[in-house]
């Protein structure tokens, strides 16, 4: 199934080019704050799925073009991100470490946005904001210290993810924490639809320029390893998101650009980029030295 969130927090199942509203079946209150209804849907999906499947033939379909898709998960407990998880990206950024010996970092839930929300560039003169295309893994159950051979029991599904970053040498989380710096979507594809998540082709364009192209088979720390590593340190909860790392080809975006990410069997997002006027801080008052020069 393709599970989406749309039109101010409604829950939908996407079928072909349509969406079916299952908000009431899922028991989600769209006015709830914080908006944790989607987390309960993920937690309870095994029992909800038969009800949804039974109701789908009688429910009205709406064209996807007539609704506004939103971030599928607006309020996860955490977003876990693995840096330098493709060798070619590590080489281009002159990083001497990899995810296998560096571990992960966390992005704030407030950085999440959806497939129709713009990436808002912070006002940080002299700095570049770079795109990073990634596969997103959505956790489906509460687990701790899960062994790698049992990794599938933790996964609810997969989504497209952009890990935006102000390029520099300051703390990584600081540079990746801005609002709108973690677009995900356009929906979550449930794990039963993706038999081999380690064989997914991922491409990213800025405008008409292909910037990134890689396959998840090239991950340094694989998906079972990422889940095992994260759950060794902390409890994973339904709706937690794992950003699996970006391949080579990262680069700057500017006001007016459109970022397009496509992952086979999952979907595509086209995210506009706009310049904002917030976000300046004394941390970015000085240029980073020495400059980071990408290597080919």
Reported as a single tens digit per residue, the pLDDT across 220-230 is 999 999 999 99
> How many C-beta atoms surround the C-beta of residue 248 within 10 A?
20
Distance of CA 199 to the CA centre of its chain: 18
Domains in the chain (CATH in brackets) are 2-70 (no CATH), 79-277 (3.90.850.10)
Region 75-80 average pLDDT: 98
Q: For tokens 């950003």, what's the residue?
A: 243
What tokens does 111 get? Answer: 């950085």
Region 24-28 average pLDDT: 98
Rounded to whole angstroms, how far apart are CA atoms 157 and 112? 17
Region 133-152 average pLDDT: 98
Rounded to the nearest integer, the mean pLDDT of the chain is 94
Please report which confidence band the pLDDT of residue 277 belongs to, taking 50, 70 and 90 as the band edges.
very high
Rounded to whole angstroms, how far apart are CA atoms 288 and 270? 30
Rounded to whole angstroms, how far apart are CA atoms 167 and 178? 13
Cβ burial, residue 293 (10 Å; 0-12/13-18/19+): exposed
pLDDT of residue 286: 82
Statement: residue 58 has pLDDT above 70: yes
- Output the pTM of the full model: 0.95
Q: What is the pLDDT of residues 102-136, one digit of tens each?
A: 899 999 999 999 999 999 999 999 999 999 999 99
């Amino acid at each position: 199934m393709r599970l989406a969130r749309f039109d101010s927090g409604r829950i939908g199942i996407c079928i072909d080019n349509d969406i079916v509203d299952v908000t009431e079946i899922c028991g989600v209150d769209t006015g709830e704050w914080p908006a944790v209804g989607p987390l309960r849907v993920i937690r309870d999906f095994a029992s909800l799925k038969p009800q949804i499947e039974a109701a789908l033939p009688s429910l009205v379909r709406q064209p996807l073009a007539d609704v506004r898709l939103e971030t599928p998960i607006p309020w996860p407990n955490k977003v876990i991100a693995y840096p330098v998880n493709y060798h070619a990206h590590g080489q281009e950024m002159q990083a001497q470490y990899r995810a296998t010996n560096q571990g992960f970092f966390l992005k704030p839930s407030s950085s999440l946005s959806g497939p129709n929300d713009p990436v808002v560039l912070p006002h940080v003169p002299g700095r570049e904001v770079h795109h990073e295309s990634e596969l997103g893994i959505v956790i489906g159950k509460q687990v701790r210290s899960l062994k790698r051979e049992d990794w599938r029991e933790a996964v609810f599904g997969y989504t497209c993810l952009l890990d935006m970053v102000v390029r520099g040498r300051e703390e990584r989380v600081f540079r990746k924490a801005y609002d709108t710096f973690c677009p995900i979507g356009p929906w979550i594809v449930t794990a039963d639809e993706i038999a081999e998540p380690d064989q997914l082709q991922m491409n990213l364009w800025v405008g008409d320029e292909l910037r990134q192209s890689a396959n998840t088979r090239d991950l340094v720390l694989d998906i079972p390893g990422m889940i095992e590593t994260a759950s060794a340190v902390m409890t994973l909860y339904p709706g937690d998101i794992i950003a699996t790392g970006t391949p080579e080809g990262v680069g700057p975006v500017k006001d007016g650009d459109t970022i397009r990410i496509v992952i086979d069997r999952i979907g595509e997002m086209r995210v506009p980029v706009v310049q904002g006027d917030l976000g300046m801080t004394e941390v970015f008052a000085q240029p980073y030295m020495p400059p980071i020069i990408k290597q080919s």
